[in-house]
Structure 1
Amino acid sequence: MEREERTLTGVGVSEGIAIAPAFIIEHGEIAIEAENIDESQIDDEIERFRRAVTKSRDQLLRIQAGVAKTMGDASAAILEPQIMLMSDVAVVDETEAVIANNLLSAETAFDKVISRGIEALEAAENSLMAERSNDFMDVRRRVLANLMGMSHHIIRDVSDEHILVIQHLAPSETAQLFHNKFVGLALEMGGTTSHVAIMTRTMEIPCVLGVDGVTEAIDNGETVIIDGTNGKVVVSPSDETLAEYVNKKAAQLERKRNLAKFKGQKARTLDGKHISVAGNMELPGEAETVANYGAEGVGLFRTELLYTRTTNLPGEEEQAEIYSEVARSLAPNSIIIRTFDIGGDKFSEILGAPFEPNPFLGWRAIRIGLDRPRVLKTQLRAILRAAKDNNIKIMFPMISNIDEVIRAKELIEESKTELDSEGIPRAERIETGIMVEIPSAALMAREIAGEVDFFSIGTNDLVQYTLAVDRGNQRVSHLYQSFNPAVLRLIKATIDAAHLHGIWCGLCGEMAADPTATIMLIGMGIDELSMNPPTIPLIKGIIRAVDSRVAHSIAEECLRLTKHSQVVDFLNRKNRELLPPEFFDE
């Protein structure tokens, strides 16, 4: 019996439309019954456990090598937590102790130890900890499968195009997508910064995460539409809906082909004003994607994943090599490295961040760095070393006052002195800027501008803090208004303050990738727009289609308006008047 059309919602983390039959995989956990052994079997059981761990580690190393070959060494580092877990004393030694002291089989002892770790991580009720629990569960399945002589392959080969529907994917499983014909993904678990989100964006596979009960709601073989742009999963679409999405997909592909011509072109307005269009990235392996879309460098290199992917802080050597690798791959264009923005939604246990009832107004970003100067200086030293032969700039996040800027600059100078005393080569001078994402920084921009080389406006947080609204809260999300006049006036004040002091001002929040805002931002005088790479050709095309003087008059009118809806309606009308149809996603 044919089922009716239904739409499931989640979080779109990789844009695009995919249409194919569902391929459902249930994560069947391996059930273990307690099994006792005799004292005479202890040594054999411990040896059997060690062989299974070694085999599991070797398997993961092979998978990691495959990812490194396809996406680069830094992307392959996503698998590092699982590989490290294989030699974690708290897991390996404790398992061997349980075997010997409790006279339990290797399977029983390992399951007992690893399950305690999984339970502790799940009890933390934190998205980052949940990601780590997935690593533990994947290691559990792999080691137990090797102990019991079972297959550890979760992702099976498919001969035709399918949509993968699954509860969650561990890094090792995600890596297997490269060798299959999965054209889209729908997962029950995962968030925008999860390894699945990062890897599917890099692979350009449409993906929706956080779809409640997705494996129960879909039958194997049912036609599924993944709308990664809008976070929708349409199941058993009607003929009308199917035709609509087939046309949308064709239009998207045609639009993408039409806009591809702008990748290699400079973003200059009709009257010759150049606006730098850069890319945002969070994994070094994404550098190639940034370059392929025609970015003029990296306007925001988020470094948080270096801190959250393992249980240890990243070392100076590791960071210096990663930053150098990215800079070399994008030379001669510059990359702006944002110091760690941990805290709030990026809570990190490794820095000892306590539970906070309101983490977005608490201990995060530069506040952590100034409280833990040794941690921040390790990163600053790595950046200074990498910048010696590369075009690298430093950017500090979450600045709320001028004192923070001055102290952060002092830490740069202290880091230089340390490197010199140790005889380690470093950059003589490095451009330093801040994220303007707190209203106080925007209001004090004239004073702060005298202390830095550039500003980069982070509109995501600027909107949230200006309007006192959490966009993740459905009850108030309608108040999250990117085009609210209060926000626009802070943006304009920041740009003007930068130019008054002879420094440049960029914008790296979601507004940078919003084509509705591009002409207005040109008119406000923005110097750089940094965004997710796939949007770069579109934004370049819009810049090349307008006169900055016309854009200036449009921006002035936006700043006179008093309502978010008025600004959006006005910009939509003007964009339709000035831009060709190919720039609009019908």
Structure 2
Amino acid sequence: MPAAPGGPRLLLRRLREAMAEPVSPQARLDRIVVLIAANVIAEVCSVYVLRDDGTLELFATEGLNREAVHLTRMRADEGLVGLIAQTAEPLSLSDAQSHPAFSYRPETGEEAYHAFLGVPLLRAGNTLGVLVVQNKTYRVYSEEEIEALQTTAMVLSEMIASGELHGLAPDAGTAARRPVSQRGVALADGIGLGHVVLHEPRIVVKTLIAENAEREMERLEAAIAVVRSAIDDLVERGDSIGTVESREVLETVRMFAHDKGWLRRMREAVSSGLTAEAAVERVQSDNRARMLRQSDPYLRDRLHDLDDLANRLLRQLIGPDAGNGSAMPENVILVARAMGPAALLEYDRTRLRGVVLEEGGPTSHIAIVARALGIPAVGEIANATALCDSGDAIIVDGVAGEVQVRPGPEIEAAYIEMVRLRAKRQEQYRALRDQPSLTTDGVQIGLYLNAGLLVDLSHLAETGADGIGLFRTELQFMVAERMPSAAEQQTLYEAVFAAIGDRPVTIRTLDIGGDKMLPYMPKLEEENPALGWRAIRIGLDRPALLRVQLRALLRAAGGRPLKIMFPMVATVEEFTRAKAIVDREKAHLSRHGHPLPSDCRLGAMIEVPSLLFQMEEIAEVADFLSVGSNDLMQFLFAVDRENRRVADRFDPLSAPALRAFRMIAKAAAGAGCPATVCGEIGGKPLDAMALIGLGFREFSMSPASIGPVKAMVLAVDAGEVERLIDSELAQARDGYSLRPALTDYAKARGIPV
């Protein structure tokens, strides 16, 4: 078998020279295929590029009929070239024509060639095209030749992605930029049009071809050693990577960092003539392509671990400011693998138009904050961060749970019309703003807002809401660089009271822990953060923290009514302990001559199932109750609301869930204790209709939900819905959902849900 003259390093040097020549893009590509063919001693070298319409087009060839260039096209699943594009794997054959996927194209004249080697053109795991070499003899290509061709393919991929091939054909060079439509899960209602800003930008590798291979190998080895050491330190200290994660995850990351196969492939890529950072990028692009095509969800999830490692290596090689550094556009659509609520709040809200996440379910805290801010959001978009680059046009459809990346003119026009129709519908809802929220049989339903920032309070006048049913105080803590002082907290609460006038407001004490960690507090390693040290548990264990907040609330509300709600209460004893702290603070303020609230009411959130078996007791000692349906459903069904495999497994309108809600409503009514629903289901018209039928009369929701829920209330007969639900629950034997029956009922009576 003849050796390639000069090897891959010489080829890369010549490619660099060819790329610098002042010639047309077609002439440059024609020169490149000649160089590649000569280097691997092949009679044919061809480049196929994935076009906007999903077909693979012959863009350049050495050895085949040149008249076939830009004429030969095939489907992405057709022939050997299509097979490589689909699998994202190299394919080496000594007799291509005997392969079942072989597709003969007479215009190319390739019937004379038998040996075949093709490699995918990959960028961030996405296929942009295919590079092929062929020989007349029945030969077997060596591992070194395959590696050299893959290295060359990376350089071509960057040419395609950067638009250097632009001008070869009407949409040439845009295959990497073609429109992409992805369906995920709707997290927050609304439609946002704007441009991509990557929350953690893809690290851009600008230097691909090495000047000194030995020096690049030294840089790679040094970076690997630093990253390994850092991960070893994390494991030894028991810290987390980015968020609170288990030691098992850290051990998995360490395992990958010491994986010999991963390291060998990067070293081979450097030996072939790439820079250290280009070698890391090439190997990770190969890994990403393979893992994205895995059906096993566990293997797909390991992609995040490898991405994390590759990014650590790239930052070590290029520097901490290795992102693309693009300026923040006016209309920002954030795209991220995952985000915490604090990270979202750091962005300029006036420019934020939407959020796209690879992870995160409808009841995750990031989704709740997005809804509170009125920002459309979609989660579970596979490979989102690799599908787009900063600056790409993008549309977030938080209604259907869809994302359109680089949409065509027709798609964009359709969404602009959809936004116009939504605006018209909002006008219709605004027309209902001043109407009393009464059912057709005269039952008064209170509609309140969930809020967490002062800017949210402007929605009171817009929506005509009855007040604030849930003010989340933790958002103030999450956006601060340090723990807010008592005076700073008091200033915020005074501003809240001033903004709402004489309308009621229920303020929830600090609900941190789980995925809502404060940036200035030590991160805790907990196996089960949602069930760990959070909310009222932190307040009771650190009473000084709770006392400072309560004192600020009591002083801010001096002379006016105050409603305080404690989150995550699991036992009546926890509530009475919190109540005792309030009494001590009131006594302290009274002794020092500070005016007290004219009326101070204390409530408990019902979100831990243990309270379902203490309903009579908690309803007797609390002044009011508020159902946190998100956590209640999570704990009731033992379903992690952040876990996309199980988050949608159970329906809040199923018989078990509705029986739990009815138990709460009946116990509260029996004790004369008002009960509000402040979880997400209260803001969904159909779900809220069911809760009215169970006896609930107050709901707290996001601003966008007030109009749709009020429209439902004005059209529903509360007594009739109650009889329907009682009848359905009486015959429910298998825990089935009442959603179909309720939907049919609403449709038959023209109730907008």
Question: Do these two structures clear the TM 0.5 threshold for a shared fold by scoring above it?
Answer: yes
CA distance in 1, matches of 2:663, 2:563: 23
* Residue 576 of structure 1 pairs with residue 747 of structure 2: yes
CA distance in 2, matches of 1:480, 1:186: 24
Show the counterpart of 2:545: 375
Show the counterpart of 2:681: 511
Show the counterpart of 2:738: 567
What is the one-letter code of the residue matched to 2:679?
G
* Residue 404 of structure 1 pairs with residue 520 of structure 2: no
Contact kept, 8 Å, 1:394 with 1:431, in 2: the verdict is: yes
Out of 460, 465, 488, the position equivalent to 2:635 is: 465
- The structural deviation recorded for 1:396 is 0.9
* Residue 257 of structure 1 pairs with residue 406 of structure 2: no
Out of 677, 691, 703, the position equivalent to 1:533 is: 703
For residues 323-343 of structure 1, give each alpha carbon's deviation from its aligned partner in whole angstroms, at most 9, with x where no partner exists: 121122112111101111112
What is the one-letter code of the residue matched to 2:578?
A
* Residue 295 of structure 1 pairs with residue 465 of structure 2: yes
Query: Could you say which structure has the greater relative contact order, defined with CA pairs below 8 angstroms and 6 or more residues apart?
Result: 1
CA distance in 1, matches of 2:694, 2:604: 19
CA distance in 2, matches of 1:347, 1:395: 20
* Residue 450 of structure 1 pairs with residue 620 of structure 2: yes
Out of 190, 199, 207, the position equivalent to 1:16 is: 190
The worse-fitting range, judged by mean Cα deviation, of 274-283 and 520-529 is 520-529
For residues 520-544 of structure 1, give each alpha carbon's deviation from its aligned partner in whole angstroms, at most 9, with x where no partner exists: 2112111210011110011111111
What is the one-letter code of the residue matched to 1:495?
A
> So what's the TM-score if we normalise by structure 2?
0.56
What secondary structure sits across from 1:456 in the alignment? strand
Contact kept, 8 Å, 1:520 with 1:554, in 2: the verdict is: no
> So what's the TM-score if we normalise by structure 1?
0.70
* Residue 124 of structure 1 pairs with residue 298 of structure 2: no
What is the one-letter code of the residue matched to 1:435?
M
Q: Larger Cα Rg: Structure 1 or Structure 2?
A: 2
Distance 1:553 1:459, change over 3 A: same
- The structural deviation recorded for 1:231 is 4.1
User: In the TM superposition, what are the counterparts of 1:5-154 in structure 2 within 5 Å?
Assistant: 5-8=179-182, 14-19=188-193, 27=201, 124-127=240-243, 154=326
CA distance in 2, matches of 1:9, 1:122: 37
What secondary structure sits across from 2:700 in the alignment? strand
The worse-fitting range, judged by mean Cα deviation, of 477-486 and 496-505 is 477-486
- The structural deviation recorded for 1:416 is 0.8
Show the counterpart of 1:39: none
User: In the TM superposition, what are the counterparts of 1:410-425 in structure 2 within 5 Å?
Assistant: 410-425=580-595
For residues 221-258 of structure 1, give each alpha carbon's deviation from its aligned partner in whole angstroms, at most 9, with x where no partner exists: 86533112344312355788667656644443332222
For residues 183-231 of structure 1, give each alpha carbon's deviation from its aligned partner in whole angstroms, at most 9, with x where no partner exists: 555577999656x9958964x5534478565454236886533112344
- The structural deviation recorded for 1:167 is 8.7
- Report % sequence identity: 32
* Residue 155 of structure 1 pairs with residue 205 of structure 2: no
Show the counterpart of 1:273: 443
What secondary structure sits across from 1:455 in the alignment? strand
Out of 52, 55, 70, the position equivalent to 1:2 is: 52
Select the structure that is richer in helix: 1
CA distance in 2, matches of 1:381, 1:239: 57
CA distance in 2, matches of 1:255, 1:519: 20
Any unmatched runs of 5+ in structure 2? 1-50, 55-178, 206-229, 246-320
Out of 594, 610, 623, the position equivalent to 1:440 is: 610
Contact kept, 8 Å, 2:547 with 2:581, in 1: the verdict is: yes
Out of 397, 402, 406, the position equivalent to 1:227 is: 397
CA distance in 1, matches of 2:649, 2:442: 37
Contact kept, 8 Å, 1:366 with 1:396, in 2: the verdict is: yes
CA distance in 2, matches of 1:524, 1:14: 26
CA distance in 1, matches of 2:512, 2:391: 42
Show the counterpart of 1:313: 483
CA distance in 2, matches of 1:511, 1:165: 26
The worse-fitting range, judged by mean Cα deviation, of 207-216 and 357-366 is 207-216
CA distance in 2, matches of 1:462, 1:294: 28
What secondary structure sits across from 2:347 in the alignment? helix
How many equivalent pairs are there? Answer: 475
Distance 1:28 1:476, change over 3 A: closer
- The structural deviation recorded for 1:21 is 7.0
Distance 1:197 1:395, change over 3 A: closer
Distance 1:127 1:13, change over 3 A: farther
Show the counterpart of 2:654: 484
RMSD (Å), alpha carbons: 4.1
Show the counterpart of 1:326: 496
What secondary structure sits across from 2:534 in the alignment? coil
Distance 1:207 1:358, change over 3 A: closer
Distance 1:444 1:241, change over 3 A: same
Show the counterpart of 2:64: none
For residues 115-139 of structure 1, give each alpha carbon's deviation from its aligned partner in whole angstroms, at most 9, with x where no partner exists: x9xx99996335489xxxxxxxxxx
Show the counterpart of 2:155: none
Any unmatched runs of 5+ in structure 1? 32-115, 130-147
For residues 157-183 of structure 1, give each alpha carbon's deviation from its aligned partner in whole angstroms, at most 9, with x where no partner exists: 66xx786768999789832x74x7x75
Contact kept, 8 Å, 2:393 with 2:407, in 1: the verdict is: yes
What secondary structure sits across from 1:479 in the alignment? coil
What secondary structure sits across from 1:312 in the alignment? coil
The worse-fitting range, judged by mean Cα deviation, of 307-316 and 293-302 is 307-316
What secondary structure sits across from 1:273 in the alignment? coil
For residues 277-331 of structure 1, give each alpha carbon's deviation from its aligned partner in whole angstroms, at most 9, with x where no partner exists: 0010122221112432221111111112233334533222211221121122112
Contact kept, 8 Å, 2:345 with 2:479, in 1: the verdict is: no
Distance 1:3 1:506, change over 3 A: same
Contact kept, 8 Å, 1:270 with 1:546, in 2: the verdict is: yes
What secondary structure sits across from 1:124 in the alignment? coil
- The structural deviation recorded for 1:267 is 1.0
Contact kept, 8 Å, 1:187 with 1:214, in 2: the verdict is: yes
CA distance in 2, matches of 1:295, 1:446: 30
For residues 58-103 of structure 1, give each alpha carbon's deviation from its aligned partner in whole angstroms, at most 9, with x where no partner exists: xxxxxxxxxxxxxxxxxxxxxxxxxxxxxxxxxxxxxxxxxxxxxx
